[in-house]
Amino acid sequence: MSKTHESAVMSYSHEESIDARMQIFALMNSYPASDAEKERSLGLFLRGSLLARILAIADLYKLIVDIPGSIFDVGTWRGQTAVLCENLRAIFEPLHFNRRIVCFDTFEGYQGFSDKDKATELHRDGTYALSGADYAEFLRRLLVLHEKSNAMGHNHGKHQVIKGDCRETIPRFFGENPNEYVALAFFDVNSYEPTLKAFEQIWARLVPGGVTAFWQLTRNTIPAESRVYAEKILGKHAHTLHRSATYPGLCYLVKR
Ligand SMILES: C[S@@+](CC[C@H](N)C(=O)[O-])C[C@H]1O[C@@H](n2cnc3c(N)ncnc32)[C@H](O)[C@@H]1O
């Protein structure tokens, strides 16, 4: 198995369960069916942990259906959350053509670790790297294909994939789009300074009732989000705090 990121290395599961996972991967890669049948039956190979993640994202999406604003995915990595959000948009609000999704990533891995962070072999500048500009282009294309294949697909090209350090790209985005405000933002860049800078920019443009979601808020091996929360958010920005019912690691703030 590739060991380029933590989910390939770290697991709470016991050996038998990891072995079962490997067997599911093997069955998925050798499953005898046409492409169309395989795609129609992908749930055969969808493990509970990914399903929990998908359900959690859907629960957050439902919170913003009657709230205007864009969706930001900060630290989008392969872009799965963004793709799911486009598909949820098409399910819950197919006529909402102004629900734009903006993905931010270096696509060259983590950037911004400092002495405020606990860098490790798995989490330090450069881990989680993809192919840079090529991956950004791939994700742009994939998002448009999902838009086209969804209901009202003639209206496509709503979303953006922005490559670069979010400490620079988010303020630049707002500078270039002074009309843009945010309904839902996912954070997953996992070092202190980029998390703080991105949060401050986005909170200022987050609408009342808007949601900021943190994938690692309670994880003490990656303390950036919890530190930003404890030092810069708690008691300073009016909100309520919740955790996902299906994916316990995902916590979110609703702006008051
Ligand atoms: C753990 S991965 C994100 C996983 C993704 N959110 C998901 O749910 O599949 C962290 C991502 O943050 C990106 N990243 C880290 N620091 C960044 C920064 N300063 N600016 C932009 N992206 C950054 C990395 O390149 C990496 O793709």
* pTM passes above 0.85: yes
The per-residue pLDDT for 2 is: 46
Question: CB–CB of 174/206 below 8 Å?
Answer: no
**Nearest atom within ligand 1 for CA of residue 73:** 6
**Nearest atom within ligand 1 for CA of residue 191:** 16
The per-residue pLDDT for 181 is: 98
Query: Could you tell me the maximum CA-CA distance found in the chain, to the nearest angstrom?
Result: 56
The per-residue pLDDT for 118 is: 85
Task: Give the residues surrounding ligand 1 with Cβ less than 6 Å away.
Answer: 75-78, 80-81, 104-106, 109-112, 128, 165-167, 188-190, 194
The per-residue pLDDT for 122 is: 87
**Nearest atom within ligand 1 for CA of residue 110:** 15
Task: Give the integer Cα–Cα distance in Å for 160 and 133.
Answer: 13
Q: Could you tell me the distance, in angstroms and rounded to a whole number, from the CA of residue 154 to the centre of ligand 1? A: 31
Is the pLDDT at 4 greater than 80, yes or no?
no
User: Residue 251 to residues 56, 227, 228, 245: CA-CA distances in angstroms?
Assistant: 10, 14, 14, 10
* pLDDT per residue as tens digits for the range 202-221: 999 999 999 999 999 999 89
Inter-residue long-range contacts of 48-53, CB under 8 Å, 24+ positions, other chains counted: 52/246, 52/247, 53/246, 53/247, 53/250
Confidence of residue 7 (pLDDT cuts 50, 70, 90): low
2 or 242: which leads in pLDDT: 242
Closest C-alpha to ligand 1, atom 12: 75
Q: Could you tell me the distance, in angstroms and rounded to a whole number, from the CA of residue 108 to the centre of ligand 1? A: 9
Q: Could you tell me the distance, in angstroms and rounded to a whole number, from the CA of residue 105 to the centre of ligand 1? A: 6
| Average pLDDT, rounded, for the chain | 95
Give the range among 80-84, 118-122, 197-201 with minimum mean pLDDT: 118-122
SS3 152: coil
Q: Could you tell me the distance, in angstroms and rounded to a whole number, from the CA of residue 78 to the centre of ligand 1? A: 9
Is the pLDDT at 3 greater than 50, yes or no?
no
Q: Which of 65, 126, 134 is nearest to 94 (CA)?
A: 65
Beta bridge partners of 72: 102, 185
Quick one: how far is CA 209 from the chain centroid? 19
Q: Could you tell me the distance, in angstroms and rounded to a whole number, from the CA of residue 132 to the centre of ligand 1? A: 12
